[in-house]
Structure formats: structure tokens, C-alpha cells
Amino acid sequence: MVDGTVASLLLAAGFVGAFGVLIKYFGMGQLIAGYDPDRVTDEEGLARFIGTNTLYVAALLVLVAAVKYTAAFAAAELVWAGFLFGVFGLTARMIVGARRYEDTK
């Protein structure tokens, strides 16, 4: 049986994944926080980069949901540390990597 945590994680994964698809495949760069079309030099590249990393976050949410559903309590608690590390790492990667698509003048 799926508990509330697993259902919430899957719902969040769908929500984040939808944003990733809209950004990456439909070029909706305006969904990117801090997006400034006057500073961006390669809108398609930025959308691909941020969209892909957003899809990684969605996949990470699905992975955590799967572990929470199948694992014992101790393992499920450990996965939260990995999730936190993964989200912070992907966020830092997006912030630093997005700079290559901007004009710094």
C-alpha cells in the first residue's frame, strides 16, 4: 500500500517533471527562476540545460519514492540524506552552468 509520503513524492515528481518537459522540449525559458531574456545569449541551450537538470530532480524524487516504498525504516531515512545532497548538487550545477548561456557585460 502506498502511504502519504510516497504519494506526495510521486506527485512532486510529476509536477517537477512537467516543468522540466516544458522548459526542455517546449523552450519555455520564462519558467526558469531569474530568467532575463536580455542577458541570455543562447536561449535553446539554456532551456536544454536547465530542463535536463530539472528532469534529473524529478527522477531523484521517483527514486526516493521507490526506496521509501520498498526499504526498511533505516534505509529510507538514509535516502533522505542522499536526496538532499543530490538536490543541492543539481541546484548548484544549474546556477553555475547557466552562466555560460548569459552575456556577462
Other residues' Cβ atoms within 10 Å of the Cβ of residue 69: 16
pTM: 0.90
57: enclosing H helix or E strand: helix 43-70
pLDDT-derived band of residue 104, with 50, 70 and 90 as boundaries? confident
Count of C-beta atoms within a 10 Å radius of residue 90: 16
Question: Alpha-carbon distance 27 to 43, whole Å?
Answer: 8
Using 50, 70 and 90 to split pLDDT, how confident is the model at 10?
A: very high
- Give the pLDDT of residue 62: 96
Report pLDDT for 77.
73
**C-beta separation of 68 from 49 below 8 A:** no
